[in-house]
Amino acid sequence: MKEDVGTIRTLAIISHGGAGKTSLAEAMLFCAGVTTRLGKVDEGTSVMDYEPEEVKRKATISSAFNTLNWKKHQVNIIDTPGDFNFIAETKTSMQGADGVIILADAVDGIRVQTEKVWEFASEFGQPRMVFVSKMDRERADFEKTVETVQNNFGKQCVPLLIPIGSAENFRGVADILAGKAYVYEKGDSGEFEVRELPADLTERAARYREEIVERVAESDDELLEKYLESGELEPAEVKAGLRTAVRTGKLVPVACGSGVLNVGIQLLLDLVVECMPSPLDRGPLKGVLPGSGQEVLREPNPSGPFSGLVIKTISDPYAGRLSVLRIFSGGLSSDSTVYNSSKEARERFGQLLRLKGKNQEPLESAGPGEIVAVAKLKETTTLDTLCTEKEPVLFPPIELPPAIYSLSVEPKSKGDEEKIFSSLSRLMEEDLTLKLERNEETKEMILSGMGEIHIEATVDKLKRKFGVEVNLKLPKVSYKETIKGKARVQGKYKKQSGGRGQYGDCWIEMEPLPRGEGFVFQDKIVGGVIPKQYIPAVEKGIVEASLEGALAGYPVVDFKVDLVDGSFHPVDSSEMAFKIAGSMAFKKAVLEAKPTLLEPIMTMEIIVPDDCMGDIIGDLNSRRGRVLGMETKGKKQIVKANVPLAEVLKYAPDLRSMTAGRGMFTMKFSHYEEVPAQGQEKIIEASKEEEK
437 and 490 share one domain? no
pLDDT for residue 273 is more than 90:
yes
Domain for residue 524, yes or no? yes
For residue 645, report the phi and psi dihedrals to the nearest 5 degrees.
Answer: -55, -40
Burial of 413 (0-12, 13-18, 19+ CB in 10 A): exposed
d(CA 582, CA 574): 12
- Percent of the chain scoring above 70 in pLDDT: 99
Q: Which of 357, 387, 417 is the last residue of a domain?
A: 387
649 and 504 share one domain? no
DSSP assignment of 63-91: -EEEEEEETTEEEEEEE---SGGGHHHHH
Q: What is the CATH number of the domain that holds 109?
A: 3.40.50.300
| Pairing outcome for strands 73-79 and 64-70 | antiparallel
Q: What is the CATH number of the domain that holds 351?
A: 2.40.30.10
Q: Which of 473, 498, 515 is the last residue of a domain?
A: 473
Longest dimension (CA), the chain: 115
pTM for the full predicted model = 0.82
Length of the chain: 692
Q: Please enumerate in sequence order all residues whose Cβ is within 8 A of that of 234, keeping only pairs 6 or more positions apart, or say none.
A: none
pLDDT for residue 327 is more than 90:
yes
486 and 374 share one domain? no
340 and 325 share one domain? yes
106 and 200 share one domain? yes
DSSP assignment of 124-159: TT--EEEEEE-TTSTT--HHHHHHHHHHHH-TTEEE
Least confident of 356-365, 505-514, 640-649, 656-665: 656-665
> Does an H or E element contain 316, and which?
strand 307-316
503 and 419 share one domain? no
Q: What is the pLDDT of residues 24-65, one digit of tens each?
A: 999 999 999 999 888 888 777 888 877 777 777 777 888 999
Predicted confidence at residue 56, as pLDDT, reads 77
Query: In this structure, are residues 194 and 266 in contact, taking their beta carbons and an 8 Å threshold?
Result: no
Q: What is the pLDDT of residues 402-413, one digit of tens each?
A: 888 899 998 887
353 and 250 share one domain? no
CA-closest candidate to residue 661, choices 30, 49, 109, 13: 109
Structural domain of residue 622, as residue ranges?
598-691
Average pLDDT of 467-481?
A: 91
Helices 651-659 and 613-622: crossing angle in degrees, nearest 10, is 150
Q: What is the CATH number of the domain that holds 455?
A: 3.30.70.870
Q: What is the Cα 6 distance to its own chain's centre?
A: 32
Predicted confidence at residue 64, as pLDDT, reads 92
Domain for residue 397, yes or no? no
Q: Which of 247, 282, 317 is the last residue of a domain?
A: 282
> Which band of pLDDT confidence, cut at 50, 70 and 90, is reported for residue 319?
low
- Cα separations (Å) of 72 from 9, 83, 240, 273? 11, 34, 18, 9
Predicted confidence at residue 303, as pLDDT, reads 93
> Which band of pLDDT confidence, cut at 50, 70 and 90, is reported for residue 3?
low
588 and 605 share one domain? no
Domain for residue 129, yes or no? yes
The sign of the dihedral angle between the CA atoms of 131, 133, 136, 137 is negative
Average pLDDT of 236-250?
A: 88
> Which band of pLDDT confidence, cut at 50, 70 and 90, is reported for residue 135?
very high
Predicted confidence at residue 417, as pLDDT, reads 80
Q: Please enumerate in sequence order all residues whose Cβ is within 8 A of that of 141, keeping only pairs 6 or more positions apart, or say none.
A: 106, 107, 166
Domain for residue 392, yes or no? no
Domain for residue 400, yes or no? no
Average pLDDT of 510-523?
A: 94
Domain for residue 649, yes or no? yes
* Number of domains into which the chain is organized: 5
Q: What is the CATH number of the domain that holds 670?
A: 3.30.70.240
Average pLDDT of 320-325?
A: 89
Predicted confidence at residue 467, as pLDDT, reads 87
431 and 509 share one domain? no
302 and 336 share one domain? yes
Q: What is the pLDDT of residues 68-77, one digit of tens each?
A: 999 999 999 9
Q: What is the pLDDT of residues 337-370, one digit of tens each?
A: 999 999 999 999 989 999 998 888 999 999 999 9
The residue that leads in pLDDT, 657 or 77, is 77
pLDDT for residue 381 is more than 80:
yes
> Does an H or E element contain 638, and which?
strand 636-644
d(CA 312, CA 93): 6
585 and 606 share one domain? no
d(CA 166, CA 163): 7
327 and 422 share one domain? no
pLDDT for residue 692 is more than 70:
no
Name the strands in the sheet holding 435-439, side by side, starting at the edge strand that comes first in the sequence. 435-439, 444-449, 405-411, 470-473
Predicted confidence at residue 232, as pLDDT, reads 84
